[in-house]
Amino acid sequence: MSQTFLWIEDRKEKSGYNFWKVFLKTLYPDIILESKINNSELIKAVKSLQDNENKYIIILDNSFDNYQIVSEHKYLRNLIKSKENVFLVNVICFEYILLEFEYLTQWVFAPDDELRVKREKALLARKELVSAISSGNMNYKTFREIIDYDQNIDSHNIEQLSARLLFDITRNTGFEVSKKNIGECWINSCCEWKLRQNDDICGLDNRRIDIREKMSAISERTESLQRLAQLYREAVL
């Protein structure tokens, strides 16, 4: 019986890998997660793949304003044209998945949380960025809210901006996400945050949900993961 693999570029110690591990275990337990360490090794693995029986889902970050990544993505797409059992999911980057999640601010912040005010610039930039990308407008660097947030926006690409935005919005909460760590509140049922203090109140404090409901919500309320679910149904099952 054939198996299904998800190949990613994230190292095992990184936040992206830990998210995918929990996501698959919760919603797609039959998919086997494998880290290929980096972009180059992931592409090499696809290029050398001889297996025609199993199914392979590939996630290579598509930072569309990073020339090197665009070139790698183009090369990868050409590689899989001749491989009927290999499928590419278009994801900007792991951080953008959580950044575009519809309920991000509702989960991270309690209704009257003062952090909403303190992080207003980051929240406005996130709103405009997600709106632009969702509508197909890739000229996100022209938006005033994004320029106000990042004065050096011209020297940053979409992956760098997404990572910084997500961190600034979630920092010092149970949902904090950095390159190395993902907050326990993303990958556990409410409330299993070991370092939680009495004044750490989030938007889920009065409606605590389990990990399956969390992963299902993220899957259903992000365009990136909606595409993954559709591909899984059409090409893998």
Confidence of residue 82 (pLDDT cuts 50, 70, 90): confident
Task: Write the burial class of residue 191 (CB in 10 Å: 0-12 exposed, 13-18 middle, 19+ buried).
Answer: middle
The average confidence (pLDDT) of the chain is 93
What topology does CATH give the domain 4-92+223-236?
Answer: Rossmann fold (3.40.50)
Tell me what the mean pLDDT of segment 208-231 comes to: 93
Residue 206 Cα to chain centre, angstroms:
26
Per-residue pLDDT, 232: 85
Q: Which tokens sit at 151?
A: 């004065």
Residue 196 has pLDDT above 90, yes or no: no
Residue 236 has pLDDT above 80, yes or no: no
Confidence of residue 237 (pLDDT cuts 50, 70, 90): low
Tell me what the mean pLDDT of segment 144-153 comes to: 95
Tell me what the mean pLDDT of segment 158-169 comes to: 97
pLDDT tens-digit profile of 3-52?
A: 999 999 999 989 999 999 999 999 999 999 999 999 999 999 999 999 99
- The pTM score is 0.93
Where are the domains positioned within the chain? 4-92+223-236, 95-216
Separation between Cα atoms, residue 178 and residue 170, nearest integer Å: 9
Return the beta strands (E) in the chain as ranges: 4-8, 31-35, 55-59, 86-89
Separation between Cα atoms, residue 100 and residue 111, nearest integer Å: 20
